Amino acid sequence: MNVGIDRINFYTPEFYLDLKDLAEARSVDPNKYLLGLMQKQMSVAPADQDSVTLAANAAKRVVDGIDKDDVGLIIFATESSIDQSKSGSLYLQELLKLSNSARSFEIKEACYGGTAALMSACDYVRTHPNKKALITASDIARYGLNTPGEVTQGAGAVAMIISKDPNIAAISQDNEVYSEQIMDFWRPNYQKNAIANGHYSQEKYLEFFKTVFEEYINKNKSDFAALLFHVPYSKLAYKAFKIACEKIDPSTREMLKKRFDLSIDLNQKVGNIYTASIYLSLISLIIQDPSLKKGDKLGLFSYGSGAVGDFFSIELTDRFKKSIDKKTIVEQIKRRKKLSIQEYEQFFKEQTEIEAKEISIEQKTNLKDFRFLGIKKDQRQ
Ligand code: CAA
């Protein structure tokens, strides 16, 4: 039985920062960001968006038109959680009017959370073939103003419906995983911003990639139509891509490079969205490469600091082109409003200064859909 991604959608906030402006404000050569890190812009979340509203805005379209009673599992993957105890998935369930008989929980392992959710959802559908799962990967990446990680921030969410006979891609059960306790990137409970051992985290990402990729190609064919990566910033994914190219048939390198460039296009404009980054890359490739076809095998490297590396493949199925709303995704990126550095810094402060007190949040988005209104009696509205 084929199980995998039946529907997928992406949502990002309505604001962005141009990294040339950030470079100027931080007295850095813009080429460090544009060429050195291969990033162009980053989406910025206003105070009226959080990981739940981002996920709900992404998920709204994927649940439209399906029988809500079929959704038996909801998994909310994030590393920008709004609560230490209660799951973001329960808010989603209410906002999207999903069935109360669904199993509903949050999952965490840094940027690997989205893949952990995907694999768990596939296992669920394999044992409950008449059911579907909703998974969301949703994050606001924050390192802090004037930090080395600042340029690698971002905000957004990807939502997917996982089912049997999927419209977009079947998930092959060929994962090669490596996990080990390391301190490359983390966010202790008392911190609003992540802590990164930046250069060590780069080394570990590449080391984990080599380990799982070599193991994978020792056991499986390397007949990839494309290779996709977790994209904390595009240069690191490109370094992993080049390592992969040394180990596969040289005649496919040119095609893989063309597709790699298409796969990072949206990530270069949105920035790091942690759990959702690799799935944004998948969307970026599918909506921009008309030459992809049914049966193509895509290799994916998912990485979550702390750390877990997982290399696996997916196979594109019958209706993958028609099942992604390209127009809405492209327009969403175009419609974003460019922020000045002062506005961005103000947004950043407002996001991080929301405390558990009675507040109502000034409306920044034009959304008709979901926004965070504030806190009343310790309850987020
Ligand atoms: N023109 C062109 N290139 C330039 C340049 C210029 N003027 N100045 C510098 N560069 C290049 C450098 O040579 C370097 O490229 P290479 O790595 O290919 O040599 C690149 O720009 C970056 O320069 P630095 O290493 O000096 O940059 P930095 O010390 O300021 O830190 C960073 C970069 C470590 C990525 C930092 O932004 C950071 O800590 N980010 C957050 C952590 C992170 O993203 N880690 C990734 C792995 S962890 C993970 O994957 C999980 C996750 O999502 C967080």
In this prediction, residue 365 carries a pLDDT of 73
In this prediction, residue 353 carries a pLDDT of 85
Could you tell me the distance, in angstroms and rounded to a whole number, from the CA of residue 140 to the centre of ligand 1? 19
Q: Token match 């911190």: residue?
A: 191
Q: Could you tell me what percent of the chain has a pLDDT over 90? A: 94
Q: Each residue of 165-217: pLDDT tens digit?
A: 999 999 999 999 999 999 999 999 999 999 999 999 999 999 999 999 999 99
- pLDDT category at 367 given cuts 50, 70, 90 is low
35 lines ligand 1 (CB under 6 A): yes
In this prediction, residue 303 carries a pLDDT of 98
Check 106, 122, 230, 315 and give the catalytic one: 230
Encoding tokens for residue 253? 């390198």
Hey, whose CA ends up nearest to atom 40 of ligand 1? 149
Our answer to whether residue 199 is catalytic in this structure is no
Q: Token match 């992540």: residue?
A: 194
- pLDDT category at 361 given cuts 50, 70, 90 is confident
Could you tell me the distance, in angstroms and rounded to a whole number, from the CA of residue 304 to the centre of ligand 1? 17
Q: Each residue of 70-104: pLDDT tens digit?
A: 999 999 999 999 999 999 999 999 999 999 999 99
In this prediction, residue 178 carries a pLDDT of 98
**What is the Cα–Cα distance from 194 to 301, expressed in whole angstroms?**
22
The full DSSP string for 242-278 is HHHHHTS-GGGHHHHHHHHHHHHHHHHHHB--GGGHH
Residue 224, pLDDT above cutoff 70: yes
pTM exceeds cut of 0.95: yes
Hey, whose CA ends up nearest to atom 43 of ligand 1? 198
Instruction: Using most ligand atoms within 8 A of CB, pick from 202, 204, 209, 308 the residue to mutate for ligand 1.
Output: 202
- Average pLDDT of 150-168? 98
Which residues 6+ apart lie within 8 Å of 72 measured at CB? Answer: 99, 101, 102, 103, 124, 128, 131, 132, 133
- Average pLDDT of 210-238? 97
Pair 299, 226: CB distance under 8 Å: yes
Our answer to whether residue 111 is catalytic in this structure is yes
Hey, whose CA ends up nearest to atom 38 of ligand 1? 149
Helix, strand, or coil here: 339?
Answer: coil
- pLDDT category at 30 given cuts 50, 70, 90 is very high
Pair 116, 177: CB distance under 8 Å: no
Residue 368, pLDDT above cutoff 80: no
The full DSSP string for 146-187 is TSTTGGG-EEEEEEEEEEES-SSEEEPS--EEEE----SEE-
- Average pLDDT of 119-141? 98
Q: Classify the complex by whether its ipTM is higher than 0.90, answering yes or no.
A: yes
Residue 296, pLDDT above cutoff 70: yes
Query: Cα–Cα–Cα angle for 278, 193, 210, nearest 5°?
Result: 35
Q: Omega into 276 within 30° of 0, i.e. cis? A: no
Nearest to 328 by CA among 23, 61, 37: 61
Our answer to whether residue 245 is catalytic in this structure is no
Q: Hey, do 3-169+324-380 and 171-316 end up sharing a CATH topology, with the first three levels equal? A: yes
30 lines ligand 1 (CB under 6 A): no
Hey, whose CA ends up nearest to atom 32 of ligand 1? 198
Bridge partners, residue 76, by sequence? 106, 136
Span 3-169+324-380: which CATH code? 3.40.47.10
Residue 24, pLDDT above cutoff 80: yes
Hey, whose CA ends up nearest to atom 9 of ligand 1? 32
Encoding tokens for residue 22? 């950030």
Instruction: Tell me how far CA of residue 115 lies from CA of 46, 108, 362, in angstroms.
Output: 27, 10, 34
- pLDDT category at 364 given cuts 50, 70, 90 is confident
- Average pLDDT of 217-234? 97
Domain spans of the chain? Answer: 3-169+324-380, 171-316
In this prediction, residue 285 carries a pLDDT of 98
Higher pLDDT, 358 or 334: 334
**What is the Cα–Cα distance from 324 to 327, expressed in whole angstroms?**
9
Encoding tokens for residue 267? 């990530």
What's the count of helices (H) and strands (E) in the chain, helices before strands? 11, 18
CATH superfamily entry for domain 171-316:
Thiolase/Chalcone synthase (3.40.47.10)
**If DSSP states are collapsed to H, E and C, what string results for 110-133?**
CECHHHHHHHHHHHHHHHCCCCEE
Residue 123, pLDDT above cutoff 80: yes
In this prediction, residue 354 carries a pLDDT of 82
- pLDDT category at 18 given cuts 50, 70, 90 is very high
Half-sphere exposure for 91 (CA within 13 Å, toward CB): 24
What mean pLDDT is reported for the chain?
96
**Counting every residue, how long is the chain?**
381
In this prediction, residue 110 carries a pLDDT of 98
Pair 184, 329: CB distance under 8 Å: no
- pLDDT category at 163 given cuts 50, 70, 90 is very high
Residue 109, pLDDT above cutoff 90: yes
36 lines ligand 1 (CB under 6 A): yes
End-to-end CA distance of the chain: 41
Q: Could you tell me what percent of the chain has a pLDDT over 70? A: 99
307 lines ligand 1 (CB under 6 A): no
